[in-house]
């Protein structure tokens, strides 16, 4: 690989760090987060393990940095792709689509497996890093309820249910049993039907 060159030490460190995280992105696509090692990352980034440890002391620290970057990128892409005038249903569909595409591109273990791998402290830090995505989804649901697009519902539990459905698409995607488009459509259609004011009224009429 070409040697990294930069005009200052700070710029060199920034380039090296970015190269490390790019290596993690490639490896997660090829192997999955649970399979990669620090040795794999160093080799893919074209640096020694000693240099890698100067940036990230262990795998949990590396995964936390990667997750933070991926989360920031997701939120930025979501906000760029949708106009301010987009309704809640359109925003929900875009959120689900982008989440599924990210899951297909960077497969990761289920939450329980990742927690066992990283340990409770690192797993809590990981949860803190992905919290902006849950807040984004909760905001979409609140907007939908306020605008009358969605039936009244406890938005935080519903957000957790939607994220659980998204997580359930991981294994089918990895095994080629579904496509990102089909998985996104499944979760979006199910969620929008469940949140439909008409569906809620029909349920109320039968109770």
- Reported as a single tens digit per residue, the pLDDT across 111-167 is 555 555 566 666 666 666 667 788 889 999 999 999 999 999 999 999 999 988 998
- Judge whether 21 and 14 are in contact, CB under 8 Å: no
Q: Flag whether 202 is in a domain.
A: no
Task: Say if residue 137 is in the same domain as residue 180.
Answer: yes
Q: Flag whether 129 is in a domain.
A: yes
Backbone angles phi, psi at 65, to 5 degrees: -65, -40
Q: Flag whether 102 is in a domain.
A: yes
**Total domains in the fold of the chain:** 2
pLDDT digits (tens, 9 = 90+) for 27-36: 877 776 667 8
Q: What is the CATH number of the domain that holds 68?
A: 1.10.357.10
Of 10-14, 66-70, 173-177, the one with minimum mean pLDDT is 66-70
Would you state the structure tokens that stand for residue 81, as one six-digit string? 């792709």
- Judge whether 133 and 74 are in contact, CB under 8 Å: yes
Average pLDDT, the chain: 82
Q: Flag whether 200 is in a domain.
A: no
Backbone angles phi, psi at 3, to 5 degrees: -70, 140
3-state class of 44 per DSSP? helix
Q: Flag whether 203 is in a domain.
A: no
Task: Say if residue 50 is in the same domain as residue 110.
Answer: no
Task: Say if residue 154 is in the same domain as residue 176.
Answer: yes
Residue 49: predicted pLDDT: 94
Task: Say if residue 161 is in the same domain as residue 70.
Answer: yes
- Judge whether 187 and 94 are in contact, CB under 8 Å: no
Q: Which of 57, 84, 101 corresponds to the end of one domain?
A: 57
Task: Say if residue 69 is in the same domain as residue 154.
Answer: yes
Residue 41: predicted pLDDT: 94
Task: Say if residue 40 is in the same domain as residue 108.
Answer: no
Query: The domain containing residue 152 runs over which residues?
Result: 58-195
Task: Say if residue 17 is in the same domain as residue 80.
Answer: no
Q: Which of 29, 57, 85 corresponds to the end of one domain?
A: 57
């Amino acid at each position: 690989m070409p040697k990294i060159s930069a005009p200052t030490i700070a710029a060199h460190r920034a380039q090296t760090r970015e190269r490390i995280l790019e290596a993690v992105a490639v490896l997660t696509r090829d192997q999955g987060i649970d399979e990669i090692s620090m040795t794999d990352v160093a080799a893919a980034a074209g640096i020694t393990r000693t240099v890698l440890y100067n940036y990230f002391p262990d795998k949990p620290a590396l995964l936390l940095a990667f997750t933070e970057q991926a989360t920031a990128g997701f939120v930025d892409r979501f906000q760029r792709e949708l106009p301010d005038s987009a309704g809640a249903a359109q925003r929900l569909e875009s959120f689900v689509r982008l989440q599924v595409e990210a899951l297909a591109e960077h497969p990761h273990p289920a939450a329980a497996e990742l927690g066992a791998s990283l340990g409770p402290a690192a797993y809590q830090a990981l949860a803190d890093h992905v919290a902006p995505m849950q807040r984004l989804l909760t905001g979409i649901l609140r907007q939908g309820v306020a605008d009358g697009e969605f039936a009244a519902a406890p938005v935080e539990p519903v957000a957790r249910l939607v994220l659980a459905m998204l997580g359930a698409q991981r294994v089918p995607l990895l095994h080629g049993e579904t496509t990102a488009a089909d998985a996104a459509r499944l979760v979006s259609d199910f969620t929008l039907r469940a949140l439909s004011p008409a569906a809620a009224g029909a349920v109320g009429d039968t109770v």
